[in-house]
Chains A and B, each alone.
Chain A
Amino acid sequence: MKKNPPPQQHHITELLAEWSDGNQSALDELYPLVYDELHRLARRYMSRERKGHTLQTTALINEAYVRLVDQRNVHWANRSHFFAISAQIMRRILIDHARRHAYAKRGGGAQQVSLEEAATVTPDQSLELIRLDEALKSLSEMDPRRGQVVELRYFGGLNNEEIAGVLNVSENTVTRDWNMARAWLYQQLTGSGAN
């Protein structure tokens, strides 16, 4: 893989500030930059740590933040925004991988392929991720905030206190949102709920 040159801190910092001020098109530009950086970092972490080690999402996002954003010129609130978008991007990265996996496992379309040698992950893991992602989409349509709580916590690796900071709500609210959201997702994924 080709190595990306370190993205320009200054540019990203500006984009982040613009987006925080409500400029949505800044996000479109920001997204791929952060995606690439997070993905690159994740792969680097994994190739160093190998199996048996978990990916520390928060550490990853923190590192990306430090690398991408010029610390001297950034407002504190932008950090929350950065975490929010990073959680979303981590979700995307993982789901992209999971989809590819689920697809490869079943043999890539019109023919059977035995993938024992290629697959080091059980398909169930990737499918579970995909299903959760789908259910989370439905949840966010009904209730965007609860959806975001799950995204920040599960995909972004943030704790309740940090989530409360990002969403600007109390920690109690985060806990309650989490309980409800998790119960609903559980119901969806296990098929134990009414339709």
Chain B
Amino acid sequence: MNPERWQQVSRIFKSAISLDDEARAEYVAGQCGVDESLRVEVEKLIESHQRASEEKFIEGMAAEAGAALIIADDEIEKQSALNKGQQFGSYVILDALGAGGMGEVYLAKDSRLDRTVALKVLSQDISSDQRRMQRFRQEAKIASSLNQPNIVTIFEFGEVDGLTFLATEFIDGETLRDYLRAKKLKIGEILEIAIQVLAALDAAHEARIVHRDIKPENVMIRRRDRVVKVLDFGLAKVTEKRSSVLTDHDADSEAATAFKTAPGLVMGTVNYMSPEQAQSHALDERTDIWSTGVMIYEMVSGLMPFKGATTSHTIVQILEKDPVPLTQFTSRQAPEELQRIVSKALAKSPDDRYQTAKDMLIDLRSLKRHMDLDAEIQRTSSSGSPRVTVATDETPHEPNKKRVVIYALIAMAVVTAAIFGINIWRSSRARTNASITPPAAAPVAERSLTYWITVQKFRNGRPYQPPFTQPGEMIFEADYQIRVNIRSPQSGYLYVLNEGPPEASAQPEFVVVFPSPTANSGSPLVAAEQLVQIPEQSWLKFDAQQGTEKLWLVFAENAVPELEAVKSFANPQTRGLITDPARNKVVQNFLTTHSSTKPGYEKGEALTTLKTPQKLLVYAIRLEHH
């Protein structure tokens, strides 16, 4: 709320709360006039006022709660082995944070680097167990190699005066568990958290580290910036072992061991266990996918997807039950797509799940963008700004439909299949030019365009043969059906054309894919960050013939006259096909002029590349079908 708004609200609120219900409603309505959102804000605040009074909210003193804290801290300090201000190796102890089974935790300052760390000093019985220490050390080493913003950084693992310690990043925040207790999260926030958890898992899985214990207690949200941090990488095993009375097991059966021997102690863990984990089968990355699915389910519904009266009942549910779809929790308005993602993560067989954290991440990000965009549209349309219409896709996807692969050819280089997350961008230095609208001496605009391609992988539950290939790399394992999402941080003119495989001695055919009467209402002008999905509400079906298809993306600062004309072709009758030979020629010339080809690295084939034009980006995505 900005200060003016606040003043406005507070003025009305002040007078309103002294009135009785009826007079109040009338007064508030009168004061707010046509400003509906102001009225809503005032009324919400009045309601909060009434509830706060009833509940005697903050009527007591902070010190009432604080008194117990002060006592408890005194106790901790008395029990701690290290004192405040004490030097411990290169660390200076700032505070005792707590103590428990594994040892004591301190807030400390690393005097070498002047940084604050959480210092965990392991208890004697742990550090005297050679085997455990060996594994602990090894895992700390692996975990410390994971350099990812959503993973808690391990700084050092060492020994001082015979005491083994672990120094990690100190995170001032709260666990997702506490977070969930405190408030109901919005779908957008849930997606944001899930995305960051999966980003952490993706990095860990790349390094062949399986977390095995993803649950809200192991996810922290930093207070300062709401960055999500996943805790306990590679360390869960060590702690689980503690609750086990059996002596030695290999790593994979350890979680199950804990469950069998001390179900009560690991109750919290059972709920997030994957079927393979519950059955002591070998575990791989996909167990983390499952647990993340459970966590998302819980965040959305407030309920555990699998929960029985006892641990055994819960296990049975994990193995057999399909949870109530999230879309049935009507108060949450969970999108169909989210339900699809979660149910895919919760497939009983690991083979039916997302195979990698990356795949799931992609789908969640895509959904998030979608929702952000919808919110944006609602905002702009309700405030009477210029109309922004974009391709939105609200139809539910069929299950198991998407896989994302990016393939692009840009700037005299071939970027071969990257699995995901590559923002292909290119800056084009707009030279001083009268037609540039920003103020004189405007900074050079950095032009960039992000796009990603999703490819259908299954149809009717059966996987496809990979039809699109690229020498050296597999590109599309798809049924010739792909979807392209495009977004640019700046507004501009976007044209997308599909060039089919050339038939012998014939002109290549161009199909105008964007804009179209349904996509963006025929306008090539897209807003900054606007998400363009091609095709809208369906999959772009590529020709099944052998040969090379191209998808041309042209993004320009100003409208491109040669391509403006194509708007008229983008009609349902011709399905966007440019039938007029003259027009076809104009388009072909434009694309040829603004791109160049050079010999490919195989069989002398030509690769379409970018010719660096001013104020214009031309990308050609080449799809080969053999």
Taking Cβ atoms with an 8 Å cutoff, the residues of A that contact B are 1, 42-43, 46-47, 49-51, 53-57, 60, 90-91, 93-94, 97-121, 123-132, 134, 142-143, 150, 154-155, 157, 176, 179-180, 182-187, 189-195
A154 partner residues in chain B, CB cutoff 8 A: 58, 61-62
Given contacts A118-B100, A183-B13, contact A111 B232 (CB under 8 A): yes
A107 partner residues in chain B, CB cutoff 8 A: 98, 100, 105, 231
Query: Pick the contact of A110 from B58, B106, B235 — CB < 8 Å?
Result: B235
B154 partner residues in chain A, CB cutoff 8 A: 110
Can you name 20 A-B pairs with beta carbons within 8 Å? A42-B70, A43-B74, A50-B71, A54-B67, A101-B73, A104-B76, A106-B178, A106-B220, A110-B143, A112-B232, A113-B98, A114-B100, A118-B76, A118-B79, A119-B98, A120-B68, A155-B63, A182-B49, A183-B49, A186-B55
A99 partner residues in chain B, CB cutoff 8 A: 172
- Shortest Cβ-Cβ A-B pairs, 5 listed: A104-B98, A108-B105, A113-B100, A109-B118, A183-B49
Is B548's beta carbon under 8 Å from chain A? no
Whether the Cβ atoms of B183 and A190 lie closer than 8 Å is yes
Stretch in B37-45, B251-259, B441-449, B606-614 touching the partner: B37-45
Query: Pick the contact of B62 from A94, A109, A176 — CB < 8 Å?
Result: A94
Whether the Cβ atoms of A103 and B172 lie closer than 8 Å is yes
Is B575's beta carbon under 8 Å from chain A? no
| Chain B CB within 10 Å, residue with most, of A120, A186, A190 | A186
Is B168's beta carbon under 8 Å from chain A? yes
Given contacts A57-B61, A111-B239, contact A120 B72 (CB under 8 A): yes
- Minimum Cβ distance to chain B for residue A39 (Å): 8
Whether the Cβ atoms of B74 and A46 lie closer than 8 Å is yes
Contact with A along B520-553 (1 / 0, CB 8 A): 0000000000000000000000000000000000
Query: Pick the contact of B178 from A100, A108, A123, A132 — CB < 8 Å?
Result: A123
B49 partner residues in chain A, CB cutoff 8 A: 179-180, 182-183, 186
Whether the Cβ atoms of A110 and B98 lie closer than 8 Å is no
Contact with A along B10-46 (1 / 0, CB 8 A): 1001100100000000000000000000001100111
Given contacts A112-B239, A157-B61, A191-B183, contact A97 B100 (CB under 8 A): no
Is B3's beta carbon under 8 Å from chain A? yes
Whether the Cβ atoms of B169 and A109 lie closer than 8 Å is yes
Query: Pick the contact of A186 from B10, B52, B101, B181 — CB < 8 Å?
Result: B52
Given contacts A121-B68, A134-B223, A142-B1, contact A54 B63 (CB under 8 A): yes
Whether the Cβ atoms of A94 and B66 lie closer than 8 Å is yes
Is B75's beta carbon under 8 Å from chain A? yes
- Minimum Cβ distance to chain A for residue B488 (Å): 27
The total of chain B residues at the interface (CB under 8 A) is: 79
Is B601's beta carbon under 8 Å from chain A? no
Whether the Cβ atoms of A184 and B45 lie closer than 8 Å is yes
Give the complex CA separation of A104 and B99 in angstroms.
Answer: 8
Whether the Cβ atoms of A55 and B63 lie closer than 8 Å is yes
Query: Pick the contact of A187 from B44, B118, B217 — CB < 8 Å?
Result: B44
Give the complex CA separation of A97 and B68 in angstroms.
Answer: 10
Which residue of chain B lies nearest to A45 when distances are taken between CB atoms in the complex? Answer: B67
Whether the Cβ atoms of A53 and B67 lie closer than 8 Å is yes
Interface positions, chain B 99-142, Cβ under 8 Å from A, are: 99-103, 105-107, 118, 120
Taking Cβ atoms with an 8 Å cutoff, the residues of B that contact A are 1-3, 6, 10, 13-14, 17, 40-41, 44-49, 51-52, 55, 57-58, 61-77, 79, 95, 97-103, 105-107, 118, 120, 143, 152, 154, 166, 168-172, 174-175, 178, 181-184, 186, 217, 220, 223, 231-233, 235-236, 238-239
Which residue of chain A lies nearest to B58 when distances are taken between CB atoms in the complex? Answer: A154
A129 partner residues in chain B, CB cutoff 8 A: 62, 65-66, 69
Query: Pick the contact of B14 from A50, A102, A126, A180 — CB < 8 Å?
Result: A180
Whether the Cβ atoms of B71 and A106 lie closer than 8 Å is no
Whether the Cβ atoms of B232 and A176 lie closer than 8 Å is no
| Chain B CB within 10 Å, residue with most, of A99, A109, A121 | A109
A103 partner residues in chain B, CB cutoff 8 A: 97-98, 107, 118, 170, 172
- Minimum Cβ distance to chain B for residue A124 (Å): 7
- Minimum Cβ distance to chain A for residue B544 (Å): 49
B233 partner residues in chain A, CB cutoff 8 A: 110
Give the complex CA separation of A31 and B76 in angstroms.
Answer: 26
Whether the Cβ atoms of A186 and B51 lie closer than 8 Å is yes
- Minimum Cβ distance to chain A for residue B606 (Å): 53
Give the complex CA separation of A70 and B304 in angstroms.
Answer: 61
Which residue of chain B lies nearest to A58 when distances are taken between CB atoms in the complex? Answer: B61
- Minimum Cβ distance to chain A for residue B220 (Å): 7
Given A106-B174, A182-B52, 15 other A-B residues pairs in contact with their CB atoms under 8 A: A51-B71, A97-B69, A100-B95, A108-B106, A109-B120, A110-B118, A110-B143, A117-B99, A118-B76, A120-B72, A120-B75, A154-B62, A187-B48, A193-B48, A194-B41
- Minimum Cβ distance to chain B for residue A32 (Å): 15
- Minimum Cβ distance to chain B for residue A111 (Å): 5
Whether the Cβ atoms of A128 and B65 lie closer than 8 Å is yes
Give the complex CA separation of A118 and B103 in angstroms.
Answer: 12
Whether the Cβ atoms of A108 and B52 lie closer than 8 Å is no
A115 partner residues in chain B, CB cutoff 8 A: 98-100
Given contacts A42-B70, A100-B97, contact A180 B10 (CB under 8 A): yes
- Minimum Cβ distance to chain B for residue A54 (Å): 5
Give the complex CA separation of A193 and B6 in angstroms.
Answer: 14
Whether the Cβ atoms of A150 and B58 lie closer than 8 Å is yes
Whether the Cβ atoms of B73 and A100 lie closer than 8 Å is yes
Whether the Cβ atoms of B68 and A51 lie closer than 8 Å is yes
Give the complex CA separation of A125 and B67 in angstroms.
Answer: 11
- Minimum Cβ distance to chain B for residue A189 (Å): 8
A102 partner residues in chain B, CB cutoff 8 A: 174, 178
Given contacts A50-B71, A154-B58, contact A186 B48 (CB under 8 A): yes
B235 partner residues in chain A, CB cutoff 8 A: 110-112
B100 partner residues in chain A, CB cutoff 8 A: 107, 112-118
Whether the Cβ atoms of B48 and A183 lie closer than 8 Å is yes
